[in-house]
Amino acid sequence: MIEMEVRELFSKNLKRIRSKQGISQLNLANMTNLTHTFINDIENCKKWISPDTLARFCNALNVEPFQFFLSDKDLDENDKKAFFAYMDDLSSIINKSVNDFKTQYLNHQEDENND
């Protein structure tokens, strides 16, 4: 895959995700503290994004970064359902591990403070 194909893939997915959520370019600009022109240029492959801009889009649209880089074949409905089920399971496992670690760490900290 060459750079231009990556830009086109990102641009297409940004527009698809934004449109699916019923968000205009102007609304997205307001949500991300970017200009409408900049978002239009991104969607038309005239500009590229920084990691900060990617994070702004993820936060505003409530999506994960990888979702901007899925190809049409990745978006096949059956594959998509399986992938998101996998991501939900993985997310649950990670959250449980983090909570277990916090509980263990906090309990350990309390024991040290009581000594």
Specify the higher pLDDT residue, 5 or 41. 41
Q: What is the CATH number of the domain that holds 57?
A: 1.10.260.40
In sequence order, which residues have a C-beta less than 8 Å from that of residue 103 and are 6 or more positions away?
none
12 and 48 in a single domain? The answer is yes
Confidence at residue 71, expressed as pLDDT on a 0 to 100 scale: 79
Residue 37 belongs to what domain range? 1-71
**Cβ pair 26, 38 in contact under 8 A:** no
Contact 26, 32 (CB under 8 A): no
> How many structural domains comprise the chain?
2
Instruction: Report the pLDDT value the prediction gives residue 82, as an integer from 0 to 100.
Output: 66
Do 31 and 45 sit in the same domain of this protein? yes
Q: What is the pTM of this model?
A: 0.64
Q: What is the pLDDT of residues 25-66, one digit of tens each?
A: 999 999 999 999 999 999 999 999 999 999 999 999 999 998
Answer yes or no: do 53 and 13 share one domain. Answer: yes
Q: Are 87 and 34 members of one domain?
A: no
Q: 44 — phi, psi (to 5°)?
A: -105, 15
